[in-house]
């Protein structure tokens, strides 16, 4: 087993592209954590801005010089032919026939290779962790003979292909699963007359809930458990506690289980949720209005499912005022004025049970994804641990 300097076995290949303003180009990006190359939507050359662009070819080892430290390293395939990247993407080709670029790709995604990339991209914050060409090319790596490289690529390729296939199926299931609560709550397959015949009412939310703000004056000696709201209707998540001695906020708001809550700033992308028991008694800023729900008429889980619909987000974002979508704040009055189709409480509870089953299924898929990721990482690490 020999050790070689990276710059002795690969060459940086820069294929400058003269941009035609009237031609469409597909730019690449590289996902972090070894998840490969992705393609951006095609753009006319006139829309690309004043950057230098370089062609990507199948067989290139592609590294993002600003994100390589967290695994933004990929191997270009035939599907990437004809794409371009900015100067931020370093493309390497073999210096001779003795190195396999897929082998290098897998090596740099393993723990052993990643540790070297970390050394070549030093720094304590993201903006300082640039992978310099000279530092990368001066790395020393283990390089078996070419036949052994190909055997390693074959074995790892088989395992990682199965891992990717499994994740793709799970991701597809995620997309179907996320659509189910919306479909169950909105029932677009039922006509207005049929809805009314089944006891549904078109009701303004102000008749079903009220603004419910439990204001608390900040005590410098207290830590306040804090939550945020995930976009796209994905619920609440725990954040670092708010330190009363550090925060500039003079007051916070305590939230309670079964309240409806949203982010005024990120309502346009679905930051709506219902507070579950886990977050009862947590705190938020005034950017997160909360509402008490009339439990005699509304099942909170139904309301949460109803607000997972992008149509609802667009309707409410259109009712707000601001300078551009991302600066628009949806105000509580707009929420209260919004009309929803409200089924009977029994039907709402059936929707709530559907949401519960979907959540359990989502959690199970998440556990399987974690195991698949661990399997892929173990295959990489075990293979290269014996070579380093």
Domains of the chain, start order = 2-143 (3.90.220.20), 201-342 (3.90.220.20)
Report pLDDT for 329.
87
Look at residue 11 and give its three-state secondary structure. strand
Chain-centre distance for alpha carbon 160: 21
pLDDT at 123: 76
Count how many residues are written for the chain. Answer: 388
Name the CA radius of gyration of the chain, rounded: 26
pTM beyond 0.85, yes or no: no
Of 327, 305, 330, 307, which is closest to residue 317 (Cα–Cα)?
A: 330
- Reading the block at residue 79, the tokens are 């599907």
- Tell me the two tokens of residue 246: 């550090």
What pLDDT is recorded for position 323? 43
Position 90 scores a pLDDT of: 97
3-state secondary structure of 261: strand
CA gap 312, 53 in Å, rounded: 40
- The angle that helices 345-385 and 111-120 make with each other, rounded to 10 degrees, is 90
Contact status, residue 95 vs residue 63, Cβ threshold 8 Å:
no
214 - beta bridge partners?
254
Whether residue 180 contacts residue 353, with contact meaning beta carbons closer than 8 Å, is answered with no
Whether the CA torsion 362, 364, 366, 372 is positive or negative: it is negative
In angstroms, the CA 74 to CA 72 distance is: 7
Mean pLDDT per 10-residue segment, the chain (388 residues): 93 96 95 94 91 96 95 96 96 95 97 94 74 95 96 95 94 91 94 95 97 96 96 93 95 97 94 96 96 97 96 86 60 96 96 92 94 94 86
Quote the tokens at residue 373.
């990721």
Structure tokens at 204: 């303004």
Three-class DSSP category at 80: helix
- pLDDT value for 178: 87
Asked if residue 213 lies in contact with residue 289, where contact means CB atoms within 8 angstroms, the answer is: yes
Residue 189 CB neighbour total at 10 angstroms: 7
């Amino acid at each position: 087993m020999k050790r070689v300097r990276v710059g002795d076995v690969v060459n940086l290949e820069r294929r400058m592209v003269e941009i035609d303003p009237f031609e469409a180009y597909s730019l690449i990006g590289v996902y972090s954590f070894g998840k490969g190359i992705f393609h951006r939507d095609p753009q006319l050359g006139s829309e690309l801005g004043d950057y230098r662009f370089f062609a990507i070819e199948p067989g290139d080892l592609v590294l993002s010089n600003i994100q390589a430290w967290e695994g933004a390293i990929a191997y270009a395939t035939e599907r990437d032919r004809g794409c371009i990247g900015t100067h931020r993407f370093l493309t390497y080709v073999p210096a001779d026939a003795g190195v396999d670029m897929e082998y290098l790709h897998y090596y740099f995604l393993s723990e052993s290779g990643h540790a070297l990339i970390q050394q070549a991209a030093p720094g304590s914050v993201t903006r300082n962790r640039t992978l310099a060409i000279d530092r990368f090319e001066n790395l020393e790596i283990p390089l078996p003979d070419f036949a052994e490289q190909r055997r390693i690529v074959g074995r790892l390729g088989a395992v990682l292909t199965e891992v990717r296939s499994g994740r793709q199926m799970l991701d597809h299931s995620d997309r179907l699963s996320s659509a189910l609560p919306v479909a169950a709550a909105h029932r677009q397959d039922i006509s207005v007359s049929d809805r009314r015949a089944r006891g549904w009412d078109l009701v303004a939310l102000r008749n079903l809930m009220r603004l419910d703000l439990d204001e608390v004056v900040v005590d410098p000696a207290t830590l306040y458990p804090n939550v945020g709201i995930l976009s796209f209707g994905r619920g609440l998540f725990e954040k670092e506690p708010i330190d009363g001695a550090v925060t500039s906020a003079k007051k916070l708001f305590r939230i309670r289980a079964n309240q409806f809550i949203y982010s005024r700033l990120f309502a346009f992308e679905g930051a709506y949720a219902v507070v579950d028991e886990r977050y009862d008694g947590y705190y938020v800023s005034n950017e997160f209005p909360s509402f008490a729900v009339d439990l005699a008429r509304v099942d909170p889980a139904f309301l949460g499912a109803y607000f997972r619909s992008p149509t609802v987000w667009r309707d409410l974002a259109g009712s707000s005022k601001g300078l551009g979508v991302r600066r628009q704040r949806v105000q509580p009055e707009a929420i209260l004025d919004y009309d929803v189709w409200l089924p009977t409480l029994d039907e709402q509870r059936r929707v709530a049970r559907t949401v519960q089953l979907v959540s359990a299924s989502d959690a199970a898929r998440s556990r399987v994804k974690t195991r698949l990721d661990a399997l892929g990482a173990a295959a990489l690490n075990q293979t290269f641990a014996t070579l380093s």
